[in-house]
Structures are given as structure tokens and as C-alpha cells.
Structure 1
Amino acid sequence: MTLAGLDQLYRQVILDAAVDPTYRGQLTNATDAQAAHNPSCGDVLEVQAQIRNDQIVAVSFQGSGCTISQASASLMAELVANQSINSVEKAIKQFKAMILGQEADLDQLGDAGVFSSISQFPTRVKCAALAWDALDELLKNQRS
């Protein structure tokens, strides 16, 4: 596949995740929730999770924002659903490293790896990180 073809594929994955997010909506049985706001572009998200026995049993997000923040939230939720807290924490670290242009294990990130080149657009990094930051904060609050 050519570089242009790969770029187009990544764009399509991001658009699909933003337009038709699988995990968008209210999680009625949430045990934890964390809101996040990106003042630079106005994105607002809330990540909700049901956590039981050190595992994210269910996860969702709701809110409004740009295509990048919505797609990132959708792909994050898809990745972390039914995963152990330990695995999710590792994925969050990998994602944050990746979007900052640092070395990351893209295999661990699944489709969220489409954001690997977002570091080239510094103003969009916060958009991509918003849901991940909210989930990270949710897990920190859940432990305390």
C-alpha cells in the first residue's frame, strides 16, 4: 500500500470512529465517571466505567467535540472494554507516548494506533488525549 493509501485508510478509520462510535452514550451501571475539558478547542467528554475485580467490565463516553476527540474516545473505549486495569494503564501510557512522538508499542493499541502521526499537529494532541486523560484520572480516583 502506498503512503497516500495508508494515510487515506487512517483518515477513514478516524472518521468512522467519530461518526459511528460504538461506546457512546450513558452507562447506566457505571461505578466511576470522569469529566474532561479541552479549553483550547471546547471539547467536553465524560468517560464512564463499571469496574469490578480490577477489570473494566463496561465503558462508555459522552460529550461533544471535534472529530479527533470523538474518534479517540471511541477507539479508546473499544480497546479497554473488558480489560484488566493493569492492561488499561499500560495502554494509556503507550497511547500518551505515541501521540507525543515517542516510541510506543502500536500492537498494544490496536486501531488507536491510527493516531501515531498526530504529534505532527501539536494543537490536535490535546484533542486525541482528552478521553485517555479522563480514563487515566478515573482510574487514579478509583484507587484512592
Structure 2
Amino acid sequence: MSMDYREYILDHYRDPRNYGKLEHPDVHCEDSNPLCGDQLGIDLQFEGDRVTAVRFQGRGCAISQASASMLSEMIEDKSVEEVIALGKDDVLEALGIPISPARTKCAFLSLRVLHRALAMAGLEHPKEDEDEEE
């Protein structure tokens, strides 16, 4: 029996993948969405040019937490180059449902925190606030 995308989002929200903290992350980054109160932190570990472990923690709406769970699955065991290449379209594709303009900040919070974490680790140039494009 296949799940529809709304059920898939709720599954990631209720049973998030890679939820928690790493004991000794190479980088940790946090941010929030002040408009709705979503909060998110990401821990990353690297080995060479690969993301070998990812954990996130936070609280917020189903969209913000489900997208963080999905993104964590997308980046684990990927090269830093592949992770840097991930963008908004990848998050929207993973969510699989249309996201209203009001909810895009929720959907993209994890992506923003991920890119800031990579910048903090010196692996990516800091980007302009990705949400401002909306």
C-alpha cells in the first residue's frame, strides 16, 4: 500500500529520520523562522569530502520538521559537492506537494541551516538569505 504525499510528510514529522544530536559534530548550526516559531539545529560530521553523519533537532510545524527529516536523508553519505548543489527545488520535490508562499519559509528552513553550516565549516561561501528571494 502506497502512502500519499501528505501521509509521507506526516510520517516524517511523527517519526523523523536522523533526529537528535551528534556527540562530536564537525559543525553545528541553528536558526529559526520568526514568523511561525519553527526552530532547527543541524549537526554534521565529515570524512574527507563526504558527509558521514547528520542529525537535526528542532520544533515547529509538520512542513519544517518533515523537510528537515527528508533533507537529512538526502545528504547522508553524499559528497560535499552534491550537498552544496541541493536547492529549493530539491526540497519541494521531496515534499511532493504544492507549498503556499506563506509556508515556503517553513519548507526551506532546513536548507538554509544546512547551507549556513557548510559555510561555517568553510566548505561553501555564505549565501544571501535564501528566503528573501520569495
State the number of aligned residues.
122
Asked whether the 8 Å contact 2:5–2:95 carries over to 1, the reply is: no
Which blocks of at least 5 consecutive residues in structure 2 are unaligned? 124-134
Asked whether the 8 Å contact 1:55–1:83 carries over to 2, the reply is: yes
Residue of structure 2 equivalent to 1:73:
68
> How far apart are residue 99 of structure 1 and its match?
6.4
Which blocks of at least 5 consecutive residues in structure 1 are unaligned? 1-5, 101-105, 107-111
Alpha-carbon separation, structure 2, partners of 1:61 and 1:88:
16
Does 1:114 pair with 2:102? no
Residue of structure 1 equivalent to 2:117:
138
Residue of structure 1 equivalent to 2:38:
43
Question: Percent sequence identity over matched residues?
Answer: 38
Alpha-carbon separation, structure 1, partners of 2:95 and 2:59:
22
SS of 1:57's partner is: strand
TM-score by structure 1 length?
Answer: 0.78
**Structure-2 change in CA distance of 1:22 and 1:137 (3 Å):** same
Residue of structure 2 equivalent to 1:109:
none
- In the TM superposition, 1:1-144 aligns within 5 A as 9-91=4-86, 93=87, 96-97=88-89, 106=93, 112-115=94-97, 117-118=98-99, 121-143=100-122
Bigger helix share: 1
Deviations 1:5-40 (A, max 9, x none): x9x701011000010012101111211011010000
TM-score by structure 2 length?
Answer: 0.84
SS of 2:121's partner is: helix
RMSD of equivalent CA atoms: 1.9
**Structure-2 change in CA distance of 1:43 and 1:113 (3 Å):** closer
SS of 1:83's partner is: coil
